[in-house]
């Protein structure tokens, strides 16, 4: 009987090579992985004697498949005490009369080898995933230290991975069996140690927990999947695990809130569109629109006006103070600017159709007057069915958007009036759509004269296009 204390793959390999040379069958050998155990059963010198006897046997070449060596390397990290025994038995069978044994994966020994290898592989993977470094700032520089508790003895198997991943960091991983350090040049192994040797916090952990809590979707709880992939025994070293209970407890409330906070276009002008659509029926229906809250404060709906067969449609943003009172679009100061520009461009107001993207006046009341307020994206989207319907009926040859609100609503949210002003583009309603300044911009601008000129130019271009198509 031969007996050995073997702790690493390399030791097992040289032992086994010698045993094979001497043709010692597996039932004549006992491999142990700890000297303490060995002394319990037989006297320590027995192994050494047999070893010296073995090495005198001349070496012979033994061929085994690489697949076996790879598996054996992994399995040697398994915690089971009989792993080296199993490996030698397989080695014996492979080299005596079962050269293709590795292919018979349902053989009991081969099967067990695979099971063990799988456990080691899984544990290595978990080590790569669940090591959490904590940063220490020391006089010598930054040091990253982790405490991890693997199931198997995988430190040596996995640490080269960490050295490739974090080459420019000084790091240490502590485990109960063994520790490893990297100083940006080489890996050094040391004894295992308990958890109190590891630092217990890192300034970044708060941010990490914030991230972890936010990326989790409370509307889809799958605790079993989480536990299968992240076994509870690893939670002790994962900072984020401390908030799992809180996240779960809070999940029903968050989901209820997500559902309760539903909003949006439960209401929109869509619900007020008449079944039979003409400009007249639309105008009538729009009077009672409650598609968004703007109707509450405004005096009345200001619908578009102009001939139903207009070749050119102009769309502004929303009615202003005077339009709200009069119930007609473009009658205030901006309307005068527009009238004037139309005239200079050789057009008559009565031949174009004038309307707004939003049909109610939005304002902020001050002591003296009602101050115009830009409609929100929600309001313009709620109101859009009206413009859509108007444009569907009129089918203009040219569509002119006055200002950004109209341009964003009708051409697309990415449209930039500053950069793309005056260019014809295609929109869903009209082959020739053009955006230009809103006449009220001219009233407010310091360079009003140059803007006015551009507005007139663009209107001229619109007329030219309409005349020629």
Partner 1 sequence: MDIQEKLSILADAAKYDASCASSGSKGTRAGSRLGSTEGMGICHSYTPDGRCVSLLKILLTNYCIYDCQYCVNRVTSETRRARFTVDEIVRLTIEFYQRNYIEGLFLSSGIIQNPDYTMEQLALVAKSLRVEHQFGGYIHLKSIPGASENLLEEAGRWADRLSVNIELPTPADLQALAPEKKPPEITDAMDAIKQRLDQYQSDRQAGFKVARFAPAGQSTQMIVGATATPDLEILKTASGLYNQQKLRRVYYSAYSPIPHADARLPGMSPPLVREHRLYQADWLMRFYGFGSSELVAESDGNLSLEIDPKLAWALAHREMFPIDVNRAEREMLLRIPGIGARNVDRILRLRRHHAIRVSDLKKLRVAWNRTASFVQTIDHNPALKQLDAQGLKDRFKPREKQLLLFDTGQSALDGEF
Q: Which residues bind ligand SF4 (CB under 6 A)?
A: 269, 286, 289-292, 294-295, 301, 358-360, 379, 382-383
Does 345 participate in binding partner 1 (rule CB under 8 A)? no
- Taking the complex as a whole, the smallest distance from the CB of residue 408 to partner 1 amounts, in Å, to 7
CA distances 177 to 239, 309, 392, Å, are: 22, 87, 77
Q: Which does 292 bind (CB under 5 to 8 A by kind): partner 1, ligand SF4, none?
A: ligand SF4
Residue at shortest CB range from ligand SF4: 291
The C-alpha atoms of residue 121 and residue 209 are separated, in whole angstroms, by: 28
Q: Which stretch binds partner 1 (CB under 8 A): 33-41, 245-253, 342-350, 437-445?
A: 245-253
SS3 372: strand
Inter-residue contact 381 to 388 (CB < 8 Å): no
Cα 408–362–365 angle (5° rounding)? 145
x/- track of binding to partner 1 for residues 410-449 (CB under 8 A): --xxx-x-----------x---------------------
SS3 384: helix
Nearer to partner 1, 408 or 463 (CB): 408
SS3 365: strand
The C-alpha atoms of residue 324 and residue 306 are separated, in whole angstroms, by: 18
Binding positions for partner 1, 63-122, rule CB under 8 A: 100, 103-106, 111
Does 367 participate in binding partner 1 (rule CB under 8 A)? no
Q: Which stretch binds partner 1 (CB under 8 A): 52-60, 66-74, 238-246, 351-359?
A: 238-246
Q: Which does 53 bind (CB under 5 to 8 A by kind): ligand SF4, partner 1, none?
A: none
The C-alpha atoms of residue 432 and residue 466 are separated, in whole angstroms, by: 9
Query: What sign does the dihedral 419-421-422-424 (CA atoms) show?
Result: positive
145 Cβ partners below 8 Å, 6+ apart? 133, 134, 136, 171, 172, 173, 174, 198, 199
Nearer to partner 1, 128 or 395 (CB): 128
| Residue of the chain from 2, 31, 84, 144 that contacts partner 1 (CB under 8 A) | 144
| Residue of the chain from 14, 28, 350, 376 that contacts partner 1 (CB under 8 A) | 376
Q: Which does 210 bind (CB under 5 to 8 A by kind): partner 1, ligand SF4, none?
A: partner 1
Nearer to ligand SF4, 317 or 458 (CB): 317
Burial class of residue 201, CB neighbours in 10 A (0-12, 13-18, 19+)? exposed
């Amino acid at each position: 009987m031969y007996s050995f204390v073997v702790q690493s793959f390399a030791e097992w390999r040289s032992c086994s090579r010698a045993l094979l040379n001497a043709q010692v069958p597996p039932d004549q050998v006992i491999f142990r992985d700890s000297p303490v155990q060995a002394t319990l059963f037989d006297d320590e010198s027995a192994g050494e004697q047999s070893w010296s006897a073995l090495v005198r046997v001349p070496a012979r070449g033994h061929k085994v498949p690489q697949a076996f060596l790879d598996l054996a390397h992994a399995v040697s990290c398994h915690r089971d005490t009989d792993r080296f025994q199993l490996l030698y038995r397989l080695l014996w069978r492979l080299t005596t009369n079962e050269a293709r044994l590795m292919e018979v994966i349902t053989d009991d020994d081969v099967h067990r080898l695979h099971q063990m290898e799988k456990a080691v592989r899984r544990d290595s993977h978990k080590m790569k995933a669940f090591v959490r470094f904590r940063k220490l700032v020391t006089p010598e520089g930054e040091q990253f230290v982790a405490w991890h508790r693997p199931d198997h003895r995988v430190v040596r198997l996995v640490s080269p991975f960490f050295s490739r991943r974090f080459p420019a960091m000084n790091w240490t991983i502590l485990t109960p069996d063994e520790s490893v350090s990297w100083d940006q040049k080489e890996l050094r192994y040391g004894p295992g140690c308990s958890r109190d040797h590891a630092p217990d916090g890192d300034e970044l952990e708060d941010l990490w927990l914030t991230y972890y809590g936010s990326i989790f979707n409370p509307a889809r709880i799958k605790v079993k999947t989480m536990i299968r992939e992240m076994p509870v025994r690893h939670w002790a070293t994962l900072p984020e695990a401390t908030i799992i209970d809180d996240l779960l407890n809070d999940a029903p409330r968050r989901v209820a809130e997500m559902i309760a906070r539903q909003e949006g276009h439960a209401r929109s002008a869509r619900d007020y569109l008449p079944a039979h659509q003409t400009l007249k029926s639309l105008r009538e229906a729009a009077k009672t629109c409650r598609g968004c809250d703007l109707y509450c404060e405004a005096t009345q709906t200001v619908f578009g006006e102009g001939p139903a067969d207009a070749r050119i449609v102009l769309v502004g943003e929303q009615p202003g103070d005077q339009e709200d009172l009069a119930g007609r679009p473009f009658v205030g100061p901006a309307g005068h600017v527009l009238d004037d520009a139309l005239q200079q461009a050789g057009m008559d107001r009565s031949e174009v159709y004038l309307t707004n993207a939003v049909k109610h006046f939005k304002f902020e009341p001050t002591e003296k007057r009602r101050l115009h307020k830009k409609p929100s994206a929600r309001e313009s989207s709620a109101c859009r069915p009206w413009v859509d319907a108007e444009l569907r009926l009129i089918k203009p040859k040219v569509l002119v958007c006055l200002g950004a609100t109209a341009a964003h609503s009708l051409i697309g949210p990415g449209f930039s009036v500053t950069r793309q002003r005056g260019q014809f583009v295609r929109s869903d309603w009209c082959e020739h759509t053009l955006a230009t300044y809103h006449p009220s911009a001219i009233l407010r601008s310091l360079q009003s004269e140059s803007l006015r000129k551009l507005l007139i130019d663009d209107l001229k271009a619109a007329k030219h296009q309409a005349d020629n198509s």
